[in-house]
Each structure stands twice: as C-alpha cells, then as structure tokens.
Amino acid sequence: MKWQGKQYSQKWYLFIIYGLLILILLVIFFVFTYSHYRKNALKDASKDLENMCASVESSVRTQLDNISSISMNIVYSNAIKMNFREFSTSYQKYAAAPSDQAASREKAMAIHDIVTAMIGAYQSASGINLYTMDGSCVEAGYWLRTTSVDLELLPWYSQTLALNGHKYITAPVVNKELPAKGENQKSQKFISLVRLFLDSDGTPEGIVEVVQDCDTIFSLSSQLEHQNPDSHVFIYNNRQELVYPYAPNSSYPDYYSIITQASVPENQAGVISTGSSGKFLYSYQTIEGYDWTVILVRPQSAFYKSLSLFRTTFFLIGAFSILVTLFLCFFISKHLTVPLEKLTAATGKITINRVLDEKKVNLTSADSSIKELSLLCESIRSMYEKLRSTSQEVLLSKSEETRAKFQAAQSLINPPFSL
C-alpha cells in the first residue's frame, strides 16, 4: 500500500524535530533552575524568620526576667519587709493621728532608697508600687509618694490573690503619670508584674507591683520591624491577649488562633492562609516560664517580590537562548539540506539527450563537508558517467549492427557478377 501521508521538506523536518527537542530541554532546564532557586530563597527566608523569632523571644524573656527578678528581690528583702510593716502601722496611725506622719514618711523614704539601690541609677523598671492589704501604697522608683487605694478596684487584684505568691503579668495599660520612652511616648502603655509577698506562715502581707515601659520590653520587636518593613511581630500572653503591638490595629487577624490550628511545629517556619489577606510565611516560639507566644509573619507576596527581578532577567535570558537555539537549528538544517537540494536539482536534469550529448558537462559536486553526502554525490556522478559510457557503447553497437544488416541486404539485392 502506498503511503498517502503529507510529506515535508527535509529542511523543515529537521528544524521542527531538533528545534522542538532542544526547546523542550531548554524549557525543562530553565523551569528546574528557577524552581530550585525559588525553593532555596524560600528556605533562606524561613531560616531568617526563625532566627528573628528566636531573637525576639530571647529579648522579651530577658526583659520579663528582669522585672520578675526585681519583684522577687523585693519580696525576699527583709529590710523592705520590716520597713513596710512599720510603714503600714505608722500610716494607719497617721490616718487617725496626724502626728505619725513623719514616721510614715521616714519608712517610705527607707523603702524608696532600698528600691532605688535595687533598680539602679538607670531605672531598670519604670516604677514600683508596694501595697498593704488594707490599701496603703508606697510608690517608689520614679515617684516617691504614699497613697490609699481600693485594692478590689484594681484589675489584677483577684487574679493576684488566686496565684498566692506566683507572678501575674498584666496586659498593656495606659499610665500617663509615668514617662514613656521611644515609640511608646504616644501610647504611654505599661505592663505590670504583680505578686503577693507572704509572711513565714504564708499569710499575705502585701502586694508588690513592678511597672515597665512597653517600649523597653518590646524594643527589639520594634527595631526588627523597622529594619524589615515586610515582617510583622505579634506577641500574645498566656491569656491569649495581644500585648504587641501594644497599639493594636483591629484589622490584624487572630494569628494565635490560626497557628494553633496549623500543623507546623514550634521554631519552624510554615505557610498559612488568612483568607482575604492572602498567604503568609510565619514562625512562632513560646517564651519559657511565661507561656507567652512570639509570632513573626511575612506576606508571601512581599517575599516573592524579591524574586521578580530575578524572574524577569531569568526569563529574558531564557527567551533569548531559545531564539538563538532555534536560529542555529534552522541554520544547521539548512546547511544539511542544501547539498541534497543541489543533488535533487542535478538529477532532475538527467535526460537521454543529456546523457548522449558529449558536450554537456558532468554533474557538479555537492560541495558538502558531510562525508556521507559527498560519497552519495560521487556515487551518483560515477553512475552518471557509467550510464553515459554504456549508452554510447550500446548506440555504437546498434549502429554497427544496423550498418552490417544494411550491407547484407544490399548484397542480396545487387549480387556480384562472376567473370
């Protein structure tokens, strides 16, 4: 059965086959290279986020340990306890007899001096308040004054009593009486660490409150956000309250709930989706001893933005390489098929008249650097020469045979006369 399919030029056949093959290989190479680079970039970004998260966790833990140590030193200071007991007694008498005002103030001054020695000249805490169980208060540290308060109206009072000597850390609250630092000057928010101090029988004698500026506790968090505008830090306390940013924006998603539902373990980066906000790269870590959670997030769009220049350059180079490759394939296919086209044109001119005409020149060479094509051309030229030689010999033989037959016939018609 004769093949009826569509036929193609050898030049285009070679160009299409080899061009597509090289094109596919180049596309695979470029896609693999870009995917590998993108994967490594994502890995580096994840590692960077994990390191930042660990740094923030260490910084916040150090600040919390500092105010916790101050409160413990106060709780276990016999000098403060003794002066505080005497202050409480004198203050109660002062309420009934103003003549005890000097004694009360003297004990408050003694407490203030001891507290100042503890927190140092650079004020490692913004303020320290000591409360008696009946509501008398000594404000030491930044201020030195005595007041009376209703403890039950304080938001942390019932929780502090329930902890029976263990620390309670409040959420950020506004306190306009204390000087704020840095970015906190607008918000003026402070965090307090509160605990009971007990006598030898375990009976509460009073409450110590160590107040610290939010800018001091979260200084590294603010610094990292300034240095990395596309990254955001979120810190939740043990009651899942957002304590940083301490000037919260209502548009922030609840990242704590999101990560608790995710399967990525602590101290490892992962990707989460927040619905309309898109996908985020995140890492989280728990502050040991306080059960606070530090979360760092970076939008995936911001991360891939750093790849845009590389992607554009990479694809331009890839497109240029593909065009050059296709041009070379076309040039090579053309170079391969030109000798065949010449040979086809030459063989198309072979006719019986050309073979028999001695004046016609022989077939021209294909001028190919390819050995097989040169051998093919030489074989056809040799065949052409043999055909010409054989045809001339056959014609000569036919001519001689015809002439001999003609002479024989002539001799029969005109026999020779005998003498």
The H or E element spanning position 210 is: strand 204-213
Give me the mean pLDDT over the 361-373 stretch. Answer: 60
Mean pLDDT of 206-228: 90
Residue 419 pLDDT greater than 50, yes or no: no
| Range picked from 82-91, 118-127, 171-180 for highest mean pLDDT | 171-180
Tokens 């010999």 belong to residue: 393
- High-pLDDT (> 70) share of the chain, %: 72
Q: Is the pTM of this model over 0.75?
A: no
Torsion sign (Cα): 238, 243, 249, 255 = negative
* Tens-place pLDDT, residues 271-294: 877 766 678 888 899 998 899 999
Between 219-228, 238-247, 389-398, the lowest mean confidence (pLDDT) is in: 389-398
- Going from the C-alpha of 96 to that of each of 93, 137, 182, 190, 244, the distances in angstroms are 5, 17, 44, 35, 45
Per residue in 4-13, pLDDT tens?
455 556 666 6
State how far the alpha carbon of 290 is from the alpha carbons of 74, 134, 167, in Å.
20, 29, 9
Average pLDDT value over all residues in the chain: 77
- Which tens digit of pLDDT belongs to each residue from 53-105? 999 999 999 999 999 988 888 888 777 777 777 666 555 544 545 555 566 66
What whole-number percentage of the chain has pLDDT above 90?
17
Q: Could you give phi then psi for residue 243, rounded to 5 degrees?
A: -105, -20
How does DSSP classify residue 265?
P
- List alpha helices for 76-100, DSSP H: 78-96
When pLDDT is averaged across residues 234-248 and rounded to a whole number, the result is 89
Window from 89-98, 341-350, 382-391 with minimum mean pLDDT: 89-98
Q: Does 317 have pLDDT greater than 90?
A: no
